[in-house]
Amino acid sequence: MREQDGRDRRIGTLARFLDVGDTAFAIEFGARIAPEINALVHRTAALVTDATLEGVTETVPTFRSLLVHYDPRLTSASTLQATLAELELGEAALDAPRRVWRIPVLYGGEAGPDLAEVAAATGLSQDAVMALHSGTLFRVYVQGFLPGFAYLGDLPAALDLPRLTIPRVRVPAGSVAIAQRMAGVYPVESPGGWRLIGNTPLRFFDPGLTPPTLFSPGDGVRFVPIEAAEHAAIRQAVNEGRYEPVCEAPE
């Protein structure tokens, strides 16, 4: 399979089609997790939606591929794949984030019980871990695991650590966590095996809103260190419906 070559930008030259049962197929753009590959996945999802192809029932983007569900009574995999292979993806290899969210985080202590362990394991000070994490412009690759849980890449290599050997039974809502080259925020209390380095008072999932999740794939995310008093004040404002998350134009 050929990854993007900067010349022929048709889906058929950049990806391969893989049958997934008799009602779906995958469009795979590469064998690695990378922002430029993920951008192609989401651009393809938008093209498929805009094309309103007969028989397509759903698309599901992943890190490096797009799953296309279809109704075999209305179309076939070969028909859809032939049409999709000719769609043009354009020249840009990677779009800039459409928007950048600034997420306030209280690092360490009870809010981030694994921060000290992360620092010891990486040979860094806790301040250095915080600086690396908050100094990174993360990309929303995909959402999953829990409603509103976004997989954020790419965590600096210096903080690349495996998941916990024994996952926690309960992770508090708003916990800011890392695992391998990813970061994330637990939107609700749940079990979890990522390393907790902080907590944000914001909410990331509300089924009463449209869309119900704060982040969307392709968004940028920056974490902003705050103190305990500010964390408490923001939490109160969120609970009272007085807080609007900060969203900025791309840098």
pLDDT tens figures, 195-247: 999 999 999 998 888 889 999 888 999 999 999 999 999 999 999 999 999 99
Q: How confident is the model at residue 8 (pLDDT cuts 50, 70, 90)?
A: confident
| The pLDDT of residue 95 | 60
| The pLDDT of residue 209 | 84
Backbone conformation region of residue 68, classed left if phi is above 0, alpha if psi is from -120 to 50, else beta: beta
DSSP label at 126?
Answer: H
Handedness of CA 222, 151, 176, 163 (dihedral sign): negative
| The pLDDT of residue 96 | 66
pLDDT tens figures, 10-68: 999 999 999 999 999 999 999 999 998 999 999 999 999 998 899 999 999 999 999 99
| The pLDDT of residue 91 | 60
| The pLDDT of residue 89 | 86
| The pLDDT of residue 208 | 86
Q: Which domains does the chain have, with CATH numbers?
A: 11-85 (3.30.1360.40), 100-248 (2.40.100.10)
What mean pLDDT is predicted for residues 66-74?
A: 97
pLDDT tens figures, 141-173: 999 889 999 999 999 999 999 999 999 999 999
Helix (H) or strand (E) holding 169: strand 168-171
pLDDT tens figures, 127-146: 999 999 999 999 999 998 89
Using CA atoms, how far apart are residues 32 and 10, in angstroms rounded to an integer? 20
What's 175-209 look like in SS3? EEEEEECEEEECCCCEEECCEEEEECCCCCECCCC
Handedness of CA 167, 172, 173, 175 (dihedral sign): negative
Q: How confident is the model at residue 3 (pLDDT cuts 50, 70, 90)?
A: very low
Taking each helix axis from N to C end, the angle separating 35-51 and 77-85, rounded to the nearest 10 degrees, works out to 110
| The pLDDT of residue 94 | 58
Residue 186, token pair as written in the block:
């637990």
| The pLDDT of residue 120 | 98
What mean pLDDT is predicted for residues 61-82?
A: 96
**Do 161 and 122 meet the contact criterion of CB atoms below 8 Å apart?**
yes
| The pLDDT of residue 169 | 97
Q: How far is CA 65 from the centre of its chain?
A: 14
In the chain, % helix, strand, coil (3-state, to 5) comes to 25, 30, 45
Using CA atoms, how far apart are residues 136 and 127, in angstroms rounded to an integer? 14
Using CA atoms, how far apart are residues 251 and 244, in angstroms rounded to an integer? 20
In angstroms, the first-to-last Cα distance of the chain is 34
Only one residue has tokens 């920056």, namely 222
Nearby residues of 101 by Cβ (< 8 Å), 6 or more positions away: 214, 215, 219, 220, 221, 222, 245, 246, 247, 248
CA angle 138–141–147, rounded 5-degree value = 105
